[in-house]
Chain A
Amino acid sequence: MTTFSDLQLDALRELANIGSGNAGTALGSMLGKSVHISVPTAAALPLAEAVAIAGEPDALRHGVVVPVVGDFRAIVLLLFPDDDARKLCAIYGIEPSTADGRSMLGEVGNILGTNYINVLAQMAGMRLDPAPPQVVEDMLGSILSSVLIGRGEEIEEALVLDSKLQVEEEQCSLSFLLLPDHGGIKELLGRLGL
């Protein structure tokens, strides 16, 4: 079924590991807290399953979408359960469902997305830039399906690189996903000689 070999998925997982680790460090210095990032999982899944493994499709999530543009198209997506978004925003004394809260979550997306893709760009010798983040509060299934379908190109399966990020002192965790587009990922693998 999958169009990626195990070797390719391992390489992508390692890239995601370095990228998300770097991003976590950057977020930690912004917040002045220690941030732990789990070793990511890399999977190529049919779209319906990519949505199903993320959790209950009608669960409410705060989502931050950072489109990546340049030599490679992808989306960096952060998903926060409401409680975790509250804890993170509370560091600055604000509420997530306000203009300030959305701006704060967008900034977290910006820091994580920028640092993640800078690592990918350096390693693969590609030019990648983040577009401004978009912050939504909606059902998990709605967010993820809309992001995966994106502009409406036909894709059979989604490549999902998923890490869990934890702000340790705050017991706050979120999902940190890179959703590359297929053409882009083949290009990236090609540059890495895989």
Chain B
Amino acid sequence: METVVRMGEASASNTPGDVLACIGLGSCIGLALVDRSKGVAALAHVMLPEAPKPDPPQPHKFADLAVPALLDLVLAHGGSRLRLEAALVGGAAMFQFGGSGQDIGQRNAHAVARHLETLRIPVRATEVGGSKGRTVRVAVGADLAITVREAGGTEEHLLGAARAGAESRAVFA
């Protein structure tokens, strides 16, 4: 079954054959935490770098709260803390709205990466930045795989079983 993870939401699965997807990411980040040895994955659709106030109704909306909340979720589904790997997709700058500072997509990507580092979760693959929207899909199970499709493009492997060396597609460190 495919579960679409909408803005500010998160979902996890350990059922082989399930797919978790963030469809049409722009400046948002699709953050996947996976334990490939157990075939467990969790995916969040993160919108903003920081929660403006504590205890918001949708913690997965904000990078600072989404990362620890998603960690709890993947552990609750049987993921092993020491085998977790992260993948980040999205964070595009589709428009220039003027004003000062970095664009929101880049701020989102940096915030997610920073919180992953704090929790010592290694980032195995990223496909972030640029100006195009993306869709990310995580296929759950023994041959767990993460794919990315850019607007108008084809499905590409980002992480997982299908092709050795697929991780080198990362375009942004």
Residues of A within 8 A of B (CB): 47-48, 51-52, 57-58, 60, 65, 67, 131, 134, 136-147, 149-152, 154
Q: Which of A65, A131, A149 contacts B27 (CB 8 A)?
A: A149
Known contacts A48-B9, A52-B6, A141 near B24 by CB under 8 Å: yes
Residue in contact with A47 in the complex, picked from B8, B94, B96, B99, CB distance below 8 Å: B8
Cα separation A141 to B90 with both chains bound (whole Å): 12
Q: Which residues of B are interface residues toward A (Cβ below 8 A)?
A: 4, 6-9, 23-28, 47-49, 51-52, 92, 94-99, 104-105, 107, 131-135, 149, 151-152
Query: Of residues A60, A131, A152, which shows the largest number of chain B Cβ atoms within 10 Å of its Cβ?
Result: A152
Closest to A147 in B: B95
Total A-B Cβ pairs within 8 A: 98
Question: For the complex, what is the distance from the CA of A144 to the CA of B27, rounded to whole Å?
Answer: 10
- The answer to whether B48 touches A143 (Cβ under 8 A) is no
Contacts A47-B7, A60-B151, A150-B104; is A143 near B26 (CB within 8 Å)?
Answer: yes
Nearest Cβ on chain A to B116's Cβ, whole angstroms: 20
Are A145 and B27 in contact, CB atoms less than 8 angstroms apart? yes
Closest residue of A by beta carbon distance from B90:
A142
With A and B bound together, what is the CA distance between A50 and B113 in angstroms? 28
For B48, list chain A residues within 8 Å (CB): 149, 152, 154
A141 — which chain B residues lie within 8 A by C-beta? 23-26, 133
Q: List 28 A-B contacts (CB under 8 A).
A: A48-B9, A51-B6, A60-B151, A60-B152, A67-B98, A131-B98, A134-B96, A136-B131, A138-B26, A138-B94, A138-B132, A141-B26, A141-B133, A142-B26, A142-B134, A143-B24, A145-B7, A145-B24, A145-B25, A145-B27, A145-B28, A146-B26, A146-B95, A146-B133, A149-B28, A150-B104, A151-B99, A152-B104
A146-B92 in contact given A52-B6, A138-B132, A139-B135 (Cβ < 8 Å): yes
B contact residues around A152 at 8 Å (CB) = 48-49, 104, 107
